[in-house]
Structure 1
Amino acid sequence: MSEREETAVSFDVVVVGNGSLGLSLGVVLARRGVRVAVLGQPHRPGAASSAAGAMIGTFGEVTETLLASEYGRTKLNWAYQASKLWPEWLDSLSPDTDGGELLTADGTVVMLNSVGLPEIDTANYRAIRRALGEYGEHFEDVDPEEIDWLDPEPTARPLQAMFLPNEHAVNATELLIRLDQAFTAAGGTYLPHEAATVTRDGDRVTGVTLSDGTALVADQVVLAAGAATQTVLDTLPDQAAVIPRLISGYGVSALVDTVDGTTAKSVIRTPNRAFACGLHVVPRGAGQVYVGATNVISPDPRSTALVSDVLFLMDCGVRQVRRNLGRSPFRKLQVGNRPVALDGMPLLGETGVVGLWMMTGTYRDGLTLSPLLAREMATQLLGGTPGIDLNLFAPVRRPIQPFSRADIVNTTVTHMMATGYETNWMLPAELPLTIEHYLRLAYTRIADEFDPEFTPPPELLAASRIHLSIAQSLRDYYAAGRAVAAV
């Protein structure tokens, strides 16, 4: 045994990542008596959790595409189960209260306005209503003119709206503080460092080495660092080659002090839109709101906001929600990086190295799913049988592709066109049809060049034209997947 191994700190489980998923898993494990360490810098640079609107929403996120595949319906069902766990989860994180003070919104208003494309906005609005009906979940149609605090410009006025009384939002900053406190109170060890490498002995994990050189010994290591997970996974090239690579769904959000000191009572949002979450304004206490809408695929996590994305975000908020937001001061601009796997699906479960697990790739659903995934992953780590089928999203897998190439290309083209309409472009009426035609030809050619069978999700197909590194990662992943399948 080497001197480093003799002096190494030992745990049962090391969780790499201190966002909502990693910390939630740490809390559950610590409460079950496991010697567990959670790693991560306290200020969580670029993490999705820190910049999130933290809408605890199941149905507000529903899209027509989500309902059209087994994988999408599985994610919807998981989100529904998770939503039922949140009241008890918040209560458990708040020793002196029931956790209700962490809620910042009383329900959610989903509005269908005149800004987007009917193929996306109207279709997704109808999909939300359909899913609510299927689950027997209560909602109310409301008159858009009677929505409290809503004051859009006339050309962006809502056509329809519904109120979802059971879809709330939490204060993400305070939630992470409570998770920190609950983890240490349960006996967990928090280490304010990043993991530099995963260590292994043959086909079995042995621990991690921290960025300061400290060695941690553990029989189980869970990679749950969001978009930053890929850097750690790359220290095991054989695993990185056969697991869908993680890239970033970079987003910008803004905390705004309203000029008139008022705030919305409920979340006000649109259905999900082109390659992104819908525009959403979330109350954050007296005289303050959170504004979010952006999702831009990036090869690597970003730490700063682009001017173009800030302009787009605030133009949407001002035009579509409340005109006087344009005269309101910024409190803070935030940047977050959602973890997006190359096939768009979560990475949940054990890798090809015994004892090395992944809990990431959840895209926009990580915070919402955190109580459920923490419970089920903890059960599996401890040798039990989870109540949900995590194997559906096992990290080592053939690329998941729920739809045909033609369907994916059509969706990509529609969403690309929608980005133009959302930015209020002014074109002759016939020109969009020409643009759409040539986009379809271009994306079909790009998809055909990637692989004869596999096609990336629409947002990645679009991003691969801009980012050559994403295109190369897709080609490498498809080739590796075929090599594994041939063995």
Structure 2
Amino acid sequence: MPSSHDVIVVGNGALGSSIAFELARRGTDVARVGGGARRHAASTAAGAMLGCFGEVTEPLMATEHGRSKLSLDRQARELWTGWLDELSSYSGDETGLVTADGTFVFLNSVGTSAIDTTNFAVIQSALTQYDEPYELVDAESIDWMRPNELFRPLQALFMPREHAVNTTRLFQKLDAAFIKAKGRIVEEHVTTLVTDGDRVTGVVLADGGTLTARHVIVAAGAHSVGLLAGLEDVHRRIPPMVSGYGVSALVRTQDRSLPRSVLRTPNRALACGLHCVPRGDGLLYLGATNIISDTPREHPDLKDLKFLVDCAIDQLHTGLEDAALVAPQVGNRPIPADGYPLFGATGVDGLWLASGTYRDGLHQSPLLAREMADLIEKGTGTVTELADFAPVRAPLAPGTRDEVVANAVAHMVATGYERKWSITGEWTAIIEEALTEKYRTRAQELDAEFTPPAEFLVTMNDHKRAALQRYYAAWR
């Protein structure tokens, strides 16, 4: 097999696979590197909701960069119909991928007013602002849903344009389409980058082999930034990356019944809200947790799986206690230290980065694939919002320090309620005061100027602190 190509794409998750296919179908000689099992990838364990507004939050809409992320989601959604047609055409597989007809967002009594009620209102406001079709519905009339009476929904809205796809079939089509477009799949993983002077010229594989190329695109999810460690000057000026370890589950309902749409809560407790996605033949996707981990995880903790299942039974359908557990799943969302994507040229000749998309990578993959192919092929792109998300950048503020601290406290309190704690009135204020002091002190000890997102403040340890301080020092 040839060892030299025009482009090497490191990573075969939804984003890496889409970029590789888009380049190959344009006639570029592409090698895509990644193990066939796609271990650690966020997209293999994802619900694959093609949603723009379901995860809108108050902090997202309060910042310019947050609104830019929403703009990317909206642009990506307009490409999915054509993208699915192209995948079917190239792969020769006409099997449908869409599994859910729209999305219901429901507000129940599990969370808190500060998080759930606020975010539900923000979702509705954003839908109105962007002239997006939706309708308010009777929360107790949602198809299939039968929660515990203590957790019944209070309000709900339906978004007819927010669907979901089957990830297993999506990857099958991406692989087949890439091969039909004459792309090369290398089922290995990359250990280091090859450099020649001030240029990246290839990659070293775990089996000791080497591949060379004019361009190397690193799209390896939560592993991406670590692969650049040998390029010290660049590495220290790119936001460090952590893994948003998430647990999801595939279950088969006893009577094979399923909702016709995605059912979900607003984002809560530093995660993406409880949700379920129909997959057909009684198969239901349940998701998902989000726990910050210094390194990607391969197996779920029992406590996280138990928490997910308990929430699904209580808040979605009590009959799920009789469902069969088909497969627990683990994904690792790539989360940069300022919470925003890492996309584009790195400043090192021949080296590009496409990662840090947090929860948006699969949904944005058609858009980002087209943009990266344009950058490689034409030297320029068309998506103006991505300019602010260049990989080498000073920290982008997720809000003021007081706002971030308040957000961290609110989400931690919401976590307690979601885990069914029972406390008397005065204790909530006591806990909030203690957490506010704790997180404010952490932020001040970390840096006098820069503040990371709430997820980092809550999970701060020596490893994260050292990585963040190195990065902040590079931009002092």
Normalising by structure 2, we get a TM-score of: 0.97
DSSP-derived class of the 2:213 partner: strand
DSSP-derived class of the 2:131 partner: coil
DSSP-derived class of the 2:224 partner: helix
Q: Answer yes or no: is 1:253 the counterpart of 2:243.
A: no
| Alpha-carbon separation, structure 2, partners of 1:116 and 1:472 | 33
1:422 is aligned, of 400, 418, 423, to 418
Post-superposition Cα deviations, 1:175-234, rounded to whole Å, max 9, x if no partner, equal: 011001111111111111111111112221111111111111111111001012233222
DSSP-derived class of the 2:68 partner: helix
In structure 2, give the amino acid aligned to 1:81: Q
| Alpha-carbon separation, structure 2, partners of 1:378 and 1:94 | 20
In structure 2, give the amino acid aligned to 1:126: A
In structure 2, give the amino acid aligned to 1:86: W
- Conserved? CA contact 2:398–2:404, under 8 Å: no
In structure 2, give the amino acid aligned to 1:49: S
| Alpha-carbon separation, structure 1, partners of 2:146 and 2:294 | 37
| Residue equivalent to 2:154 | 159
Query: How far off is 1:239 after superposition?
Result: 2.3
| Alpha-carbon separation, structure 1, partners of 2:95 and 2:419 | 38
Post-superposition Cα deviations, 1:48-68, rounded to whole Å, max 9, x if no partner, equal: 011010000011111111111
| Alpha-carbon separation, structure 2, partners of 1:256 and 1:396 | 42
- Conserved? CA contact 1:257–1:330, under 8 Å: yes
Query: How far off is 1:293 after superposition?
Result: 2.3
Post-superposition Cα deviations, 1:304-345, rounded to whole Å, max 9, x if no partner, equal: 101111111011101100001112110000000000011111
Normalising by structure 1, we get a TM-score of: 0.95
| Residue equivalent to 1:85 | 79
Query: How far off is 1:8 after superposition?
Result: 7.2
| Residue equivalent to 2:290 | 295
- Conserved? CA contact 2:59–2:399, under 8 Å: no
| Residue equivalent to 1:280 | 275
DSSP-derived class of the 2:459 partner: helix
| Residue equivalent to 1:207 | 202
1:102 is aligned, of 91, 97, 105, to 97
Q: Answer yes or no: is 1:462 the counterpart of 2:458.
A: yes
| Alpha-carbon separation, structure 1, partners of 2:432 and 2:95 | 48
Give structure 2 stretches of 5+ with no counterpart: none
| Alpha-carbon separation, structure 2, partners of 1:328 and 1:197 | 44
| Residue equivalent to 1:137 | 132
Q: Answer yes or no: is 1:481 the counterpart of 2:458.
A: no
| Alpha-carbon separation, structure 2, partners of 1:201 and 1:394 | 23
Query: How far off is 1:383 after superposition?
Result: 2.9
- Conserved? CA contact 1:26–1:183, under 8 Å: yes
- Conserved? CA contact 1:91–1:97, under 8 Å: no
CA RMSD of aligned residues (A): 1.4
Q: Answer yes or no: is 1:408 the counterpart of 2:409.
A: no
1:122 is aligned, of 117, 121, 126, to 117
| Residue equivalent to 2:15 | 21
Percent identity over the alignment is 52
| Residue equivalent to 1:44 | 38
User: Counterparts of 1:272-351 in structure 2 under 5 Å?
Assistant: 272-351=267-346
Query: How far off is 1:165 after superposition?
Result: 0.8
Deviates more, 1:26-35 or 1:382-391: 382-391
| Alpha-carbon separation, structure 1, partners of 2:160 and 2:353 | 34
| Residue equivalent to 2:231 | 236
In structure 1, give the amino acid aligned to 2:436: R
Query: How far off is 1:385 after superposition?
Result: 2.5
| Residue equivalent to 2:60 | 66
DSSP-derived class of the 1:284 partner: strand
- Conserved? CA contact 1:351–1:357, under 8 Å: yes
| Alpha-carbon separation, structure 2, partners of 1:263 and 1:463 | 36
Give structure 1 stretches of 5+ with no counterpart: 1-6, 483-487
Query: How far off is 1:100 after superposition?
Result: 7.0
| Alpha-carbon separation, structure 2, partners of 1:146 and 1:330 | 27
Query: How far off is 1:97 after superposition?
Result: 8.1
| Residue equivalent to 1:485 | none
| Alpha-carbon separation, structure 2, partners of 1:128 and 1:29 | 35
Query: How far off is 1:99 after superposition?
Result: 5.6
| Residue equivalent to 1:359 | 354
DSSP-derived class of the 1:274 partner: coil
